[in-house]
Structure 1
Amino acid sequence: MKLDSSVSAIITGGASGLGAATARHLRSLGVKVALFDKNPETGEAMAKEIGAVFCEVDVMDEASVDAAFAKARAANGQERILVNCAGGGRGGKTISRDKQTGEIIPFKASDFEWVLGLNTVGTFRCVVKSAAGMATLEPDETGERGAIVNTGSVAAEEGQIGQVAYAAAKAAIKGMTIVIARDLSSEGIRINTILPGIMDTPMLGGLKTRAPQVYQGLAASVPFPKRLGAAEEYADLAVTMLRNGYINGETVRLDGAIRMAPR
């Protein structure tokens, strides 16, 4: 896909971290960008900084997502690009014990459902709505109508102790990639998924000052290079997936060769 001012993109979780880096990269190429995010303060500031449209949205809420797509399309036209970076987790073992009493504590099914709702269902909801819009477009000169990039995690393959919900949610994103690619092939729409490792995003980057030894330990656990991944490296891979028309149905690790230990 040619990335220039004739193309518009929607990025969920676009106000910070991986989404913000991807938005900056696409704007540097002239692509029109709409940022979907729950945080209006950071979202509006980011949109103003890079010349994008901000849409306050909760990807777990159908009406909110519909309204955001309508706003983005009114401003920038029908998108040919969707990058899904919205996500998060709630930790906990399948069952654990109270350290004082030995009482068995089960992981709440409601928390499990919440994590899947945010990561898996939220991602799929946006994929469906974006693909339906892309299908109304005329194919470009290569026969392509659009391209989608989802965000999984290395936890999809090596979930650690206490990550049962997050690992399941990200494994589902990985698992649905090839199926969606096949489903959308007749429409000329591609989809790929990135599985980031330990990334230097706001969630972990704060450890530099709060717990520098923990941060340094995380960096040392990466085989090479011995550091956390940069959000810009995620953005670079996402843009490559969008540009290269023969990358389809793939899940690609971005992790410095790390393989996560049980804990």
Structure 2
Amino acid sequence: MQIANRIALVTGGGSGLGEATARRLADLGAGVAVLDLGEEAAARVADEIGGLALAADVSDAEAVEAAFARIAAELGEAPRIVVNCAGIGTAARILPREGALPIGLFDRTIRINLLGTYTVLSHAARAMSALAPMDDDGARGVIVNTASVAYQDGQIGQAAYAASKGGVASLTLPAARELARFGIRVMTIAPGLFETAMSAGLPPEARAALEAGLPFPSRMGRPDEYAMLAQQIIENPLLNGEVIRIDSAVRLAPK
């Protein structure tokens, strides 16, 4: 799909992978809606790229529906490109030393990472299905979700996070198969270790240990490298129903 002159929505667009993706799509000529839980973060990025700022909790169906309505009203059309980057990283053992099961944390992680992804995907599918096809293939749009290598390599303390990202990965193929008749593609990116807010607070020794375990290149990924892959997925019409790892060939150890 050509990106120039298309409408795009990037969730989690106020920072990290989402911000890099929003900036790249805007640079390529898309009209970009930047959705984030933090209103100030969304506004900062949107102002700098000439986009539309939206503040919403992706797991709140009414808020997501309202966001799609604003995009259509203010940008002239529903988004044909949706990149789901909104999510949280959590770390908690199933049996911590104090013996308390962190059910609330598990629930919150699933709600934001998995339910949030599904909520945006479902609203995107409904909006895209009403649009006119763009080409002889009948393409109407593309949805790119974000999992994590933790969906396959979940480490100790990542039960909630790995489960949420595993759900996103498992959603990919059935969603792509169902939405194929509408000309809507669904793909998922599974990032490894990236330079984001989650990794920014690591002590230097911890960071060095992590990077030493990366085969090549032996460094954390840069957010724009995620955005580059999102661009390639959007532009290549045969990429559909698959999860792509972007991870320097790393396979995470148990801890």
Query: Which letter maps to 2:189?
Result: I
So what's the TM-score if we normalise by structure 1?
A: 0.94
Query: Which letter maps to 1:153?
Result: S
Number of aligned residue pairs: 253
- 2:11 touches 2:86 (CA, 8 Å); kept in 1? yes
Query: Is 1:251 the counterpart of 2:250 in the alignment?
Result: no
Q: Pick closer, same or farther for the CA change 1:72–1:41 going to 2, 3 Å.
A: same
Cα deviations by residue, 1:53-99 (Å, 9 ceiling, x for unpaired): 0000111212211211111221112110100000013321111223x
Distance 1:113 1:203 in 2: 20
SS in 2 for 1:228: coil
SS in 2 for 1:83: strand
Question: Which residue, out of 188, 191, 198, partners 1:196?
Answer: 191
- 1:89 touches 1:166 (CA, 8 Å); kept in 2? yes
Cα deviations by residue, 1:190-234 (Å, 9 ceiling, x for unpaired): 000000000011221343xxx212122221111110000010110
Query: Which letter maps to 1:200?
Result: E
- 2:89 touches 2:198 (CA, 8 Å); kept in 1? no
Q: CA deviation at 1:128?
A: 0.3
Question: Which residue, out of 243, 254, 260, partners 2:252?
Answer: 260
Write out aligned runs for 1:70-85 (5 A): 70-76=69-75, 77-85=77-85
- 1:89 touches 1:165 (CA, 8 Å); kept in 2? no
Distance 2:17 2:161 in 1: 17
**Bigger shift: 61-70 or 140-149?**
61-70
Question: Which residue, out of 103, 111, 121, partners 2:105?
Answer: 111
Q: Please, which runs of 5 or more residues in structure 2 have no aligned partner?
A: none
Q: Percent identical across equivalent pairs?
A: 43
Cα deviations by residue, 1:35-69 (Å, 9 ceiling, x for unpaired): 11011112111111111100001112122112111
Q: Which residue of 1 is the match for residue 214 of structure 2? A: 222
Distance 2:170 2:42 in 1: 30
Distance 1:249 1:67 in 2: 28
Distance 1:106 1:193 in 2: 34
Q: Which residue of 2 is the match for residue 95 of structure 1? A: 95
Cα deviations by residue, 1:114-155 (Å, 9 ceiling, x for unpaired): 111000000000000011000001111132000000000000
Write out aligned runs for 1:16-165 (5 A): 16-76=15-75, 77-98=77-98, 105-141=99-135, 142-165=137-160
Distance 1:240 1:64 in 2: 29
- 1:79 touches 1:134 (CA, 8 Å); kept in 2? yes
Q: CA deviation at 1:240?
A: 0.5
Distance 2:23 2:30 in 1: 10
Q: Please, which runs of 5 or more residues in structure 1 have no aligned partner?
A: 99-104
So what's the TM-score if we normalise by structure 2?
A: 0.96
Cα deviations by residue, 1:145-181 (Å, 9 ceiling, x for unpaired): 0000000000000100000000000001001100000
